[in-house]
């Protein structure tokens, strides 16, 4: 499937070309092609097991594609190891709580800055993270494992920001958050985007994700079945029925 809906912004930052991915015999991604323009928020929505997480893991090369190509800022990254991705300007906030439970909040953030040598830059980024998530500042000495689910989610997000990435991959950032925190997280995503970050957002909360997205793609069993502007998809009858819980 080729991508006829081009990004609304001129420069393509990320492009997937006919990407296939497998877990053993399970064909998880079946020829995925899509683009993310610099400065866009792109929402990837779809039901459980549709392949959203696999798509993000493929983009960050945690799981290199079996077939097809991932192009980031004009070059194929198929053979780039995942830990190199940060240096290229991509940060992945994974699904669930992937923080270090036995390290403090501050130490978790410092680890996120593993590619940065300059102490002042690290400290500056930590303070920026605290500005975005004041809750983390209050709890900077607390062990990661003792944070609430929502706080761990914030920590994972703040940790990804430590490297000042150009592209942020977010896997269900609202998962497990109370409605108030969900609002806050979405506000933060919009602010980061306004500050120049490009965002690829996977969300179960389709309505909110499409509400902030420039464009979106609907995934179903490893294929893109629908694409359009955030507005178009939000108002699409089939999307509303399937993913927004309307009958």
Ligand X SMILES: Nc1ncnc2c1ncn2[C@@H]1O[C@H](COP(=O)(O)OP(=O)(O)OP(=O)(O)O)[C@@H](O)[C@H]1O
Which residue ranges make up the site for Mg ion (CB under 5 A)? 52-53, 95
Q: Does 60 bind ligand X (CB under 6 A)?
A: no
Smallest distance, ligand X to C-beta of residue 50, A: 4
Among 2, 23, 25, 79, interactor with ligand X by CB under 6 A: 23
Q: Which helix (H) or strand (E) holds 63?
A: none
153 is an interface residue for ligand X by CB under 6 A: no
Say whether residue 52 binds ligand X (CB under 6 A): yes
**Residues forming a β-bridge with 215:** 42, 229
Binding partner of residue 50 among ligand X, Mg ion, none, CB under 5 to 8 Å per kind?
ligand X
Rg (CA), the chain: 17
| Start-to-end CA span in the chain (Å) | 29
H-only helix segments in 96-244: 105-112, 119-132, 134-138, 149-161, 179-194, 206-212, 230-235, 237-243
Burial label, 118 (beta-carbon count in 10 A; 0-12, 13-18, 19+): exposed
CB-based contact 157:133 (threshold 8 Å): yes
**Least distance in Å: CB of 16 to ligand X?**
14
**Exactly one of 2, 10, 48, 79 binds ligand X (CB under 6 A); which one?**
48
Which residue has the CB atom at the shortest distance from Mg ion?
Answer: 53
Question: Given the rule CB under 6 A, which of 23-31, 140-148, 162-170, 178-186 is the region that contacts ligand X?
Answer: 23-31
Closer of 130 and 243 to Mg ion (Cβ):
243
| Three-class SS state of 74 | coil
- 46 counts as binding ligand X under rule CB under 6 A: yes
Closest separation between CB of residue 109 and ligand X, Å?
26
Contact positions vs ligand X (CB under 6 A) = 23, 26, 28, 46, 48-54
């Amino acid at each position: 499937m080729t991508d006829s809906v081009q990004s609304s912004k001129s420069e393509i930052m990320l492009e997937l070309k006919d990407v296939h991915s497998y877990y053993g015999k399970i064909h998880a991604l079946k020829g995925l092609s899509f683009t993310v323009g610099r400065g866009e928020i792109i929402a990837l929505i779809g039901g459980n097991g549709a392949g959203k997480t696999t798509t993000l893991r493929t983009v960050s090369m945690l799981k290199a594609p079996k077939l097809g190509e991932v192009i980031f800022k004009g070059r194929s990254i198929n053979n780039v190891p995942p830990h190199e991705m940060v240096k290229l300007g991509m940060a992945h906030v994974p699904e669930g709580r992937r923080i270090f439970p036995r390290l403090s909040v501050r130490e978790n953030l410092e680890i996120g800055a593993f590619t940065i040598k300059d102490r002042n830059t690290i400290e500056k980024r930590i303070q920026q993270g605290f500005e975005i998530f004041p809750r983390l500042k209050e709890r900077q000495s607390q062990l990661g494992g003792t944070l609430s689910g929502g706080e761990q989610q914030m920590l994972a997000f703040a940790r990804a920001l430590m490297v000042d990435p150009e592209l942020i991959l977010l896997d269900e950032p609202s998962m497990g958050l109370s409605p108030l925190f969900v609002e806050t997280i979405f506000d933060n995503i919009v602010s980061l985007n306004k500050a120049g970050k490009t965002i690829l957002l996977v969300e179960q909360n389709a309505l909110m994700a499409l509400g902030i997205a420039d464009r979106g793609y609907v995934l179903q069993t490893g294929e893109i079945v629908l694409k359009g502007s955030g507005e178009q998809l939000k108002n699409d009858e089939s999307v509303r029925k399937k993913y927004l819980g309307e009958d």
